[in-house]
Amino acid sequence: MQPELASRDRERIIEAAYTCLSQPHRGPVPVAAILQRAEVSTRAFYRHFESKDELFLAMLRQETDALARRLDRVADERAKVPAEQLEAWIEVMFGLIRDDETRMHFTVIDSDEVRAAKGYRETREKAHADRERSLVEILRRGRDDGSFPLTDPERDAFAINAIISRVMITQTYDDHEGLRRAKARVLDFALRALGATHYVADRR
């Protein structure tokens, strides 16, 4: 099979899995239902995935790797000061719940059925580390240039990431003003905790 056709089959299987898992259903979604939705054969499925668990892990890696790349690009924008990078980093994270398709994808990979996949926990832990890597780099820059004088980069990256995750779980997706206020509160809290008093004052 030609590489582009094989790649297309893989994408169709993944998108079909998202569709099947996001729709109301009872019990685990069978591979047969995913293949029917994707309009591919069982042979095509096993050409790309050893099992349904491996499909679920591939979905998790695809979304979290894409997010990590976006966050790494924020950390690479050296023309910005660390406080501006932190604001941009938080903006990318909140962007996950503003885009309908991205929100659906992350809701699916956080579902009980996907969480039950063998290897999920280890893959998710790596994804969290990859996500925080860029934030640690931003906080280290702030510590080194004096703009974040109170930071412990590893500890604070973990705390900021955890706060954002909690806020995003409780936030109403279609409340755009609420999202804006929630993002502003998280940024303000983080800047104060890091000791970025000048940037806080400048934003007022």
Q: Token pair of 60, please?
A: 């998790």
| pLDDT value of residue 7 | 76
Dihedral angle sign, alpha carbons of residues 145, 86, 115, 12? negative
Residue 65 Cα distances to 14, 24, 60, 89, 155, angstroms: 15, 27, 8, 15, 22
Reply yes or no on whether the pLDDT at 198 is more than 70. Answer: no
The pLDDT-based confidence of 8 (bands split at 50, 70, 90) is: confident
As a whole number, the mean pLDDT across the chain is: 89
Reply yes or no on whether the pLDDT at 119 is more than 90. Answer: yes
pTM for the whole structure:
0.86
The pLDDT-based confidence of 25 (bands split at 50, 70, 90) is: confident
Stronger pLDDT, 168 or 127, i.e. the higher one: 127
Report phi then psi at 174, rounded to 5: -90, 5
What residues does each domain of the chain span? 1-49, 51-203
Burial (0-12, 13-18, 19+ Cβ within 10 Å), 160: buried
Per residue in 126-154, pLDDT (tens digit) is 999 999 999 999 999 999 999 999 999 99
Distance separating alpha carbons of residues 70 and 143, to the nearest angstrom: 23
Q: Where would I find the H helices in 23-119?
A: 31-38, 42-48, 52-75, 82-95, 100-109, 112-115
Listed in sequence order, the residues at least 6 apart from 160 whose beta carbon sits closer than 8 Å to its beta carbon are 90, 135, 186, 190
> Is domain 51-203 in CATH 1.10.357.10, yes or no?
yes
Reply yes or no on whether the pLDDT at 91 is more than 90. Answer: yes
